[in-house]
Amino acid sequence: MKIIVLKFGGTSVGTIKRINNISKIIVSYLKKRFKVIVVTSAMSGATNKLIKKSKQISDKFNDSEYDVLVSSGEQISCSLIAAKLSHLGYKSKSYLGWQVPIITDNAHKSAKIISIGKKVLINYLRQDGVPIVAGFQGISLDGRITTLGRGASDYTAIMISKYFKAKKCIIYTDVEGVMTTDPRIYRKAKKIKEISYEEMLEMSSLGSKVMQSNSVQDARLSRVNIDVRSSLIKSKGTLIKKKKNVRQNNVIRGISSTTNDAKVTLVGVKDKPGVAASIFEPLSTNNINVDMVVQNISPNKVDTDVTFTVKKDDLNKTKKLTKNNKRIKFRKLLIDDKVSKVSIIGVGMITTPGVTYRMFKALSKKNINILVISTSEIKISVLVSRTKLRKAVSALHKEFKLD
């Protein structure tokens, strides 16, 4: 059975006109003799409206009931797509997570898929039916509706592709594919034809919003090749696949950036073993993700400065937890919430010397001061003033010949 999984994001199903459009896309694959499984998100904006309602009811809305509420958005888009295909003369039916079933753990709001039942959908495919599966949701071991985290319809599509051994997994969105950088920041951004899981994982975790980073990691672990393309225009997209199968035309594949980071500096921290653990323990306990970390060398071996970044949404909680932390002492707490992280990503830098120098030189030429630096095997990130973001992205895009 030649199975293909087509996933449509919220903007692709955002209006009745767009649902009519994606129905034509589905039919085009049926005409190519594929057995099609469709995974859909809620219509754009629907989930945010439901979350807003939960907050109007209570700021301590029960997690289990939250999942019941926000998962209802996908039910609407499933029904509309199935009804449209039926109208066009094709056999189609909507399936919610519990009907498949998509079995998850009990972690409401961020559940992980344990298994996916194949019998129901396989039987329907054999009857030439087109199942429309609700993304983002499943059912827990104790029979409650669960959700998989914001943007996790991709995760649903990837895991269905794995379990059903699909020939292809195509993620339809409102962009042409993965771009070298955000075109809203730099208009000369180009579409990347192919990219490795590792590069895409770094790009998504560092600010690229085309795919959720957890979904990319799941695709990598499951060895599911992904094709990201636009549902609005007819053109080839970006293939995400194994590193060894990607042609290395550029040392650097892309540039990611963020505008939601904040820099926190503790001045005059006592320099002794365990102090870093003491600083970050309460943040970890409260699920605050710490990104870039720099500890200055202590010349007097008495005190030092520690700088780190968190998301702006977590800044107030970070300040409160740090000030109330009785296990550490410091002279001053400095905050800068007007910073941006700019990152260059590419597996080519593993075997290419001089990338770090070229990055820093390009920024220096534009008089851009680097506040914090962090690196991994395939990426270098720097923190700069937010007012310098566009200039930094432009300089690096040109330096690494991505124009």
Predicted model pTM: 0.81
Same structural domain, 169 and 263: no
Same structural domain, 151 and 15: yes
Same structural domain, 282 and 139: no
Same structural domain, 269 and 163: no
- Residue 370, pLDDT score: 96
CA distance 79 to 65: 22
Same structural domain, 277 and 151: no
Question: Which residues, other chains included, contact 137 with Cβ-Cβ below 8 Å and sequence gap of 6+?
Answer: 67, 71, 74, 96, 97, 102, 145, 146, 147, 148, 156
**Which of 146, 174, 202 corresponds to the end of one domain?**
174
179 falls within a domain? no
Identify the band that residue 63 occupies on the pLDDT scale cut at 50, 70 and 90.
Answer: very high
Could you count the other beta carbons within 10 Å of the beta carbon of residue 310?
22
**Which of 174, 196, 214 corresponds to the end of one domain?**
174
Same structural domain, 263 and 395: yes
211 falls within a domain? no
- Residue 214, pLDDT score: 77
What percent of the chain is predicted at pLDDT more than 90? 74
250 falls within a domain? no
pLDDT, tens digit, for every residue of 158-210? Answer: 999 999 999 999 999 988 888 999 888 999 999 999 898 889 888 887 666 67
CA distance 212 to 327: 36
Average pLDDT, the chain: 92
Q: Which of 63-77, 284-298, 309-323, 360-374 has the lowest mean pLDDT?
A: 284-298
pLDDT at 403 over 90: no
Q: What are all long-range contacts of 293-299, with beta carbons under 8 Å and residues at least 24 apart?
A: 293/374, 294/372, 294/373, 298/271
Same structural domain, 263 and 161: no
Q: In the beta sheet, which residues pair with residue 194?
A: 239
Same structural domain, 35 and 157: yes
pLDDT at 213 over 80: no
195 falls within a domain? no
201 falls within a domain? no
Same structural domain, 18 and 165: yes
Q: How many domains does the chain have?
A: 2
- Residue 208, pLDDT score: 67
210 falls within a domain? no
pLDDT at 348 over 90: no
**What CATH number has the domain bearing residue 162?**
3.40.1160.10
**What CATH number has the domain bearing residue 378?**
3.30.2130.10
- Residue 202, pLDDT score: 85
Same structural domain, 280 and 383: yes
Same structural domain, 161 and 283: no
**Which of 174, 190, 220 corresponds to the end of one domain?**
174
> Cβ distance 11 to 129 under 8 Å?
no
206 falls within a domain? no
More confident residue, 299 or 42: 42
CA distance 2 to 128: 12
- Residue 174, pLDDT score: 86
- Residue 248, pLDDT score: 67
CA distance 357 to 349: 12
Range of the domain at 70: 3-174
Cα dihedral value 282, 283, 287, 288, nearest 10: 170
Same structural domain, 14 and 161: yes
Q: Which of 26-40, 81-95, 293-307, 347-361 has the lowest mean pLDDT?
A: 293-307
Q: Which of 28-42, 184-198, 205-219 has the lowest mean pLDDT?
A: 205-219
194 falls within a domain? no
- Residue 130, pLDDT score: 98
